[in-house]
Amino acid sequence: MAALSTEVKAFIVQSLACYDTPAKVIELVKENFRVTVTRQQVSAYDPANAMAKSLSQKWVDLFNVTRTRFQTEITDIPIANKAYRLRTLDRMMNKAENMRNMALAATLIEQAAKECGDAYTNKQKVEHTGKDGGPIESATLTKDEYKAARREMLEDDDC
């Protein structure tokens, strides 16, 4: 096992904190640093792993800070942004249209409409409150009141 630079160690810790699997971390380290690491080396930098019991406090702190930031700050993830998703769907739809794949284009248009707020769906919004958010008023008519109201309606229809 080759000794790892501080930069590679930090990369491993941060990747694990962002829920990358050890296999994915191995692949990313090789791709970014041209260094081959083993699964055991990667596992040694995961505070949740029993193999990391002797992990230095600075790596544990980096892991915890990175994990917390990853879980709370979704602004760094483009797909979490509505405008990004719509732009991507637009590019995909244009490509599908150019390929004359109208079924895919229609599906992408529907997905974009859903992104914009269910504008293209069969969903109905039903309000479950009365005026100004209060309770829904209901009235119960007696049998005689009902007959009288019905007679009135029938007389009005005769006009």
Q: pLDDT tens across 14-27, in order?
A: 999 999 999 999 99
Please determine, for residue 60, whether its predicted confidence score (pLDDT) is greater than 60.
yes
The structure's pTM equals: 0.55
Structure tokens at 74: 């979704």
Q: What is the pLDDT of residue 158?
A: 62
Crossing angle of helices 102-115 and 82-98, rounded to 10° = 170
* pLDDT tens sequence across 76-97: 788 888 888 899 999 999 999 9
Q: How distant is the alpha carbon of residue 53 from its chain centre?
A: 34
Q: HSE (CB half, 13 Å, CA atoms) of 80?
A: 8
- Choose among 79, 23, 27, 30: nearest CA to 46: 23
pLDDT greater at residue 124 or residue 74: 74
Structure tokens at 58: 């600075």
Q: Whole-angstrom Cα distance, residue 155 to residue 34?
A: 91
Q: What is the pLDDT of residue 81?
A: 83
pLDDT greater at residue 140 or residue 33: 33
Question: Any long-range contacts for 100-103 (C-beta under 8 Å, 24+ apart)?
Answer: none
Other CB atoms closer than 10 Å to residue 49's CB: what's the count? 15
Other CB atoms closer than 10 Å to residue 22's CB: what's the count? 20
